[in-house]
Structure formats: structure tokens, C-alpha cells
Structure 1
Amino acid sequence: MMKLSIKFRKVAANGDLIDYVNRRISFAFSRTKHAIHSTEVTISDINGPKGGIDKECLVVIKPVGMTRIVISERRANLQQAIDRCITRANQNLTRKIKRNRTSLYKLRPSKKSPIESTGESAMSTDNYLTLEPSY
């Protein structure tokens, strides 16, 4: 179960915004929630009431067994910043999980295949089993 923490800085924390962030997080990480220990979302207004491109969303994901992911996004609109930041965080997490799975498979030594014991030609290189056809 993923822990979710939402923080606000110089932004009024209303129920609609909290619900919006919860929906976006649960939808974006629905396929990868098994790999997430905790998620922190910080929403802030950099300049205060001055305006401009100053709405910021910061997402920190702490995956299980991997280094944390930190994504920040600044936009003029708060919902755009939240959407883009969560989308980028999900892409980054998915890429990291895929790389981690690939590296785990590469580290695992190959086992002796039953084909090797039957006498068919097989060649092992770099702990990978490569089968060659016998003509």
C-alpha cells in the first residue's frame, strides 16, 4: 500500500484540490503502485499573488528497493503543473522499474539446460544460453 502525503505552500488547501491530486495520483500509478513505498506531493505558489508562471508541483516517489524519484514542474495554471508533474513522475518510475527488471535478469546466472544433457549443440556465452541448430 502506497503512502500519500500532500503539502501546500502559499496555496490555499481546499478539498477540491486535494481530491484532484488524489485522483490523478491513483490513476497515474494504478499499474505501478506495488513498487511504491511512499509519495509526497508539494504544491506551491512561488511569487504569491503577483502572477506569472509561478505555480509549482513537486513529486517525490520512494520506490521499494530503488533510489527516489524527484520531479518538479512550473506552470501558470496549478492543474497543468500537477498533471504534467505526475505524468513525468509516472514515466520516470515505469522506466526505472523496467531497467531494474532488465538488470536483475542480466545478473542471474543461467542454469544448465536439459538440452545440454541430451547432446544437442549448445553454446554458453556471458551466462546466457544460446542454442545452435544441429544439421
Structure 2
Amino acid sequence: MRIEIHTGKFSLTESLREHIERRIQFTLSWAHHGLQKVVLRLDDINGPKGGADKSCRVQIPVAGGKPVVIEEIQSDLYIAIDCALERAGRALSRKLARKREHGHKRLTPALGDGIQLV
């Protein structure tokens, strides 16, 4: 699984990168064989003004469907990352369960239903 980390107005520290990699392994390890990549976009919305302005946006592409996209805004970037990845893991689990549940149904008309196949 490839991890892409994009930052906005600040530089990515080694400790932040390690934290992200650990959290992704912890929350998404159950699905790592089916995931090709995880994209994180980190941003400080207000800059030095402070407040609840640290944003983490997680995007996980899903084969044959729309990607899972979660955004979390908190005053602490580490908390925003943790919350966003936790929510993304739950959303991915639900999406894959629905895909498995509905993926085996095939809607084909039976030949005697008044529909002619040419």
C-alpha cells in the first residue's frame, strides 16, 4: 500500500510521518491487501492565528466505486489525523461490506418474461 502525504502551509516532520504511518497500519491493516494507496492532505487553515483549524483529509480509492473521503478539523493535528483515519476505516469497512452484499446479485431477465433478446 502506497501512502501519499500532502501538506499545505507547513513542512512534514519525521515524527508526524511516523505517526501517520503507524496509524494507517493500525486502522487499515485488515484491508491492506486490497488497498493500493491512501492519500492524506494536511493543512493549517488559519495559519498562526490558532484555533480549531488543523485539517486532515483522507482519501482511499476503492476499485469499482467512488473513493472513501473523510475530512476532520481539530485544534491538534495529531488528533485530526487519528479521528480522520478511524472514521475512514469504519467507512471503508461499511463500503466493502455493501459491495460484497450487493455484488453477487445479478439482474438478468428470464426468457419468458415478455422480453425478447435479439
Whichever of the two has the greater Rg, that structure is 1
- Kindly provide the amino acid, as one letter, of the partner of residue 29 in structure 1: L
Distance 1:31 1:65 in 2: 19
For normalisation by structure 2, the TM-score amounts to: 0.85
Identity, % of aligned positions: 36
Distance 2:84 2:15 in 1: 18
The aligned residue for residue 102 of structure 2 is 103
Greater fraction strand: 1
Q: How does 1:1-135 map to 2 (within 5 A)?
A: 2-107=1-106
- What is the aligned length? 108
What is the CA distance between 1:108 and its match in structure 2? 8.3
Answer 1 or 2: higher relative contact order, Cα 8 Å, separation at least 6.
2
1:108 to 1:3, Cα distance in 2 relative to 1, 3 A = farther
Offset from partner CA, 1:19-49 (integer Å, 9 cap, x none): 0001101111100112222210011100101
Distance 1:76 1:9 in 2: 16
Distance 1:11 1:28 in 2: 25
- Kindly provide the amino acid, as one letter, of the partner of residue 99 in structure 1: R
Query: Structure 2: 5+ residue runs without aligned partners?
Result: 109-118
What is the CA distance between 1:98 and its match in structure 2? 0.2
Instruction: Tell me, yes or no, if the aligned pair for 1:44 and 1:56 is still in contact at 8 Å.
Output: yes
Distance 2:34 2:101 in 1: 15
Distance 1:105 1:22 in 2: 34
Distance 1:46 1:37 in 2: 29
- Kindly provide the amino acid, as one letter, of the partner of residue 36 in structure 1: L
For normalisation by structure 1, the TM-score amounts to: 0.75
Instruction: Tell me, yes or no, if the aligned pair for 1:37 and 1:64 is still in contact at 8 Å.
Output: no
